[in-house]
Amino acid sequence: LLTLAGRDFYQILGVSRSANSNEIKKAYRKLAKALHPDKNQDDPDASQKFQDLGAAYEALSDPEKRELYDRCGEDCLKKDGMMNNNDPFASFFGDFGFHFGGDQQQHET
């Protein structure tokens, strides 16, 4: 099976299409350390490689996103609004609920 459109997330992570969630997580952690832009300051493509890695992990670590990706590639994820390209760490570390400003309410005493 070939990826129909977009990046090949399995190739980016270096895992087979039959990889389980633990294999995907292990590959991501290993590559995240190796490809981090701070460790590769002499590589002008380091930031893009790291972003690609984050996108691959985001798609393949979520069963629903992975099924959609396997069916029709990265473009389907983008069309369905399932890709979060803002923060490569968001899918790995999750949202810890640190929201600043805006949501605070003042209480009278």
Instruction: Give pLDDT tens digits for 3-25.
Output: 456 899 999 999 999 999 999 99
Q: How high is the pLDDT of residue 96?
A: 43
SS3 27: helix
> What average pLDDT does the chain have?
79
Instruction: Spell out a b/e string for 81-103, using b for 16 or more CB atoms within 10 Å of the CB, else e.
Output: eebeeeebeebbeeeeeeeeeee
Is the pLDDT score of 98 beyond 70?
Answer: no
Percentage of the chain lying above the pLDDT 70 cut: 68
Sequence letter at residue 22: N
Angle between helices 21-35 and 46-61 (to 10 degrees): 170
Q: How high is the pLDDT of residue 64?
A: 94
Q: How high is the pLDDT of residue 4?
A: 52
Query: Which domains occur in the chain, in start order?
Result: 10-92 (1.10.287.110)
Measured CA to CA, the distance from residue 44 to residue 109 in angstroms comes to: 56
58: nearest Cα among 86, 38, 35? 86
Contacts of 85 (CB under 8 A, 6+ apart): 51, 55
